[in-house]
């Protein structure tokens, strides 16, 4: 399993970091088998597996429930777990308490927080021994304010993002997710930091990539964001498989000899 100290080393050596989201036992198991460097139990689970239209409704209990299943499916993979909406903004003490609780309850390797508003929370969590991953650019918990679109598209916003990136690094973050920002800005941020940047919709000149499991495999998805390239089609395979099963039941072709217990219990 990777350790937090490996991330900077991989960046230094120019080895790209692979990350994908996982939300349950089978997705974690597959990702570990595929040799992913790290998994993210993203609060995107609100949309991908719970059917909400944003991540805002996701609770601490939801994150714990899913993260524990991911840990069972990927016992030997570095796992990052998202802090859900509303659990790290009210005040620093409660926020730090919540970070510690989520880390402890899930057996995660790191906790991820969106935005640059929580610099003190990052510093104190790291001091308390919790590796922290930061997340800048499009931060989906704020879509009510920002919308689901590219962020930092003008120079002032880009300069602010660079300042925020330096601040999260100085506070002790060990990785930085950059979501939906122009690729030249992502490249610049990557060059000024020692910690690796993990891009999602941030171009190729970053230190690693993360995508949502359900997007990579087209599983329950209808429309993919511009920055996704799918690598399998679970939607088609799943509907075909289920239709074939239903048709076989209707036709009386399932179950057959091979799928039936044949021990006789009644006399003729």
C-beta of 231 vs 245, nearer to ligand KIV: 231
Q: Which residues are annotated as a binding site for Mg(2+)?
A: 43, 82, 114
Residue in 21, 42, 45, 80 binding Na ion, rule: CB under 5 A: 42
Q: Look at residue 200 and give the partner it binds from ligand KIV, Na ion, none, a contact being a CB closer than 5 to 8 Å depending on partner kind.
A: ligand KIV
Site for ligand KIV contains 44 (CB under 6 A):
yes
From residue 118, alpha-carbon distances to 57, 115, 180, 197, 259 in Å are 20, 7, 20, 18, 57
Sign of CA dihedral 188, 191, 195, 199: positive
> Within 10 Å of residue 107's Cβ, how many Cβ atoms?
14
Nearest to 181 by CA among 198, 169, 168: 198
Of the candidate residues 212, 215, 216, 217, the single one contacting ligand KIV (CB under 6 A): 212
Q: Does 133 bind ligand KIV (CB under 6 A)?
A: no
Active site residue 169: no
Binder of residue 212, out of ligand KIV, Na ion, none (CB less than 5 to 8 A by kind): ligand KIV
> Is the CB of 79 or the CB of 241 nearer to Na ion?
79
Q: Return the number of the residue (81 or 186) whose C-beta is nearest Na ion.
A: 81
Residue 216's nearest CA partner among 71, 21, 40, 66 is: 21
Indicate whether 207 belongs to the interface with Na ion (CB under 5 A).
no
Which run of H or of E encompasses 266? none
**Residue showing the smallest CB distance to ligand KIV in the complex:** 42
CA distances 200 to 33, 139, 176, Å, are 22, 11, 11
CA–CA gap between residue 237 and residue 172 (Å, rounded): 44
Q: Is 207 in the site for ligand KIV (CB under 6 A)?
A: no
Residue 82 sits in the site that holds Na ion (CB under 5 A): yes
Q: Which of 62, 82, 207, 215 binds ligand KIV (CB under 6 A)?
A: 82
Among 100, 98, 166, CA closest to 127: 100
* Contact between 193 and 171 (Cβ < 8 Å): no
Please say whether the dihedral angle defined by the alpha carbons of residues 212, 218, 219 and 220, taken in this order, is positive or negative: positive
Pick the closer one to ligand KIV by CB: 82 or 207: 82
* Residue 210 interface partner, choices ligand KIV, Na ion, none, CB cut-off 5-8 Å depending on type: ligand KIV
Would you tell me which residues interact with ligand KIV (CB under 6 A)?
21, 40, 42-44, 82, 135, 177, 179, 200, 210, 212
Catalytic residue set: 179
């Amino acid at each position: 399993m990777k350790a937090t100290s490996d991330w900077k080393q991989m960046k230094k050596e120019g080895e790209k970091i692979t990350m994908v989201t996982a939300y349950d036992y089978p997705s974690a198991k597959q990702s570990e088998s595929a040799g992913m460097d790290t998994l993210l139990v993203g609060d995107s689970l609100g949309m991908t597996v719970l059917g909400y239209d944003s991540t805002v409704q996701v609770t601490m209990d939801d994150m714990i429930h899913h993260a524990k299943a991911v840990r069972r499916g990927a016992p030997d993979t570095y796992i990052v777990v998202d802090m859900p909406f509303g659990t790290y903004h009210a005040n620093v003490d409660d926020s730090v308490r919540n970070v510690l609780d989520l880390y402890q309850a899930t057996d995660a390797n790191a906790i991820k927080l969106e935005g640059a508003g929580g610099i003190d929370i990052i510093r104190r969590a790291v001091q308390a021994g919790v590796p922290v991953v930061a997340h800048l650019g499009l931060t989906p918990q704020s879509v009510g304010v920002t919308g689901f679109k590219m962020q930092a598209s003008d120079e002032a916003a880009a300069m602010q993002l660079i300042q925020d990136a330096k601040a999260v690094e100085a506070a002790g973050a060990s990785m930085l997710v950059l979501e939906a920002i122009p690729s030249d800005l992502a490249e610049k941020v990557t060059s000024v930091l020692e910690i690796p940047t993990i891009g999602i919709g941030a171009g190729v000149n970053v230190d690693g990539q993360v995508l949502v499991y359900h997007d990579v495999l087209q599983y329950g998805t209808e429309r993919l964001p511009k920055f996704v390239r799918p690598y399998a089609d679970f939607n088609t395979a799943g509907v075909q498989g289920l239709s074939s099963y239903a048709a076989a039941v209707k036709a009386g072709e399932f179950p057959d000899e091979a799928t039936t217990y044949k021990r006789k219990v009644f006399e003729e």
